[in-house]
Structure 1
Amino acid sequence: MITIKKILIVDDSTSARFFIKGCIPKDKGYEFFEASDGAKGVEAYKNFRPDVTFMDLTMPVMTGFEAIEVIKAFDPQAAIIVLTADIQTKTIERVTALGITTVLKKPPVKATVEEALLKIQGIGG
């Protein structure tokens, strides 16, 4: 069971990052960090050591798949939630092979984001 204090949102779309933040409960006092591509996401992860990371898959510079590989090599216990519009079976299988257990469809819904955060904390199913 982990306590979430710091959240990293990695997405090349400013509006998507804003939208994701809007789905996260405001009353928990979370500290937010953002990155606009996978490479910046890896850098932010190493600098800020977030408790949970929301990761887009399709981004310039470094894809979410590549960023997940680097982050997981750096920190095998990293809690990463993938947010993507691409929910094809092969995509889900690929992120699962990288150790990701939670994939949310874009655009996210507040209830599914909250449920994913509870799951990461070991509270939800």
Structure 2
Amino acid sequence: MPLPIVIADDSLLARKVLTKALPPDWDVEIAYASNGREALALYRAGKATVMFLDLTMPDMTGYQVLEALQHEDLNTFVIVVSADIQPMAQERVRALGAIAFVAKPVTPEAVLPILKEYGLYA
């Protein structure tokens, strides 16, 4: 059974780059969100065992998504993918429950160790 994942980013190009950075043989079912509200809706629909989350999105930021997930008993592995690589941003997302922070542009070399560390990819 494929693992449900969400890729949430307002940039179509960023969503494509991230999709290509995932292991090609990883058995996943990908849902895409272009803003935080869509990401939360997909999470609530059970489509986000893993969520790749951009921080800067219209309508609802990645920070707001993390806060909502934390309020709802965070039950997903959130990997933040952002161009904002400031230490304060990284500390804040970890405090809000993210398991990792990956800088854009995303590479397979950045994603794979995280997936393996959390048992999401063998």
TM-score, normalization by structure 2: 0.90
**Structure 2 residue 87 is matched with structure 1 residue 92:** no
What is the SS of the residue equivalent to 1:26? coil
Query: Is the alpha carbon distance of 1:29 and 1:81 closer, same or farther for their aligned partners in structure 2, counting shifts above 3 Å?
Result: same
How many pairs were matched up?
122
Q: State the alpha-carbon separation in 2 of the partners of residues 88 and 9 from structure 1.
A: 22
- Alignment partner, residue 71 of structure 1: 69
Displacement of 1:78 in angstroms is 1.8
> Higher helix fraction: Structure 1 or Structure 2?
1
Structure 2, gaps ≥5 residues long: none
Q: Percent identity over the alignment?
A: 34
TM-score, normalization by structure 1: 0.88
Higher relative contact order (CA 8 A, sep 6+): 1
Structural RMSD (CA): 1.9
Structure 1, gaps ≥5 residues long: none
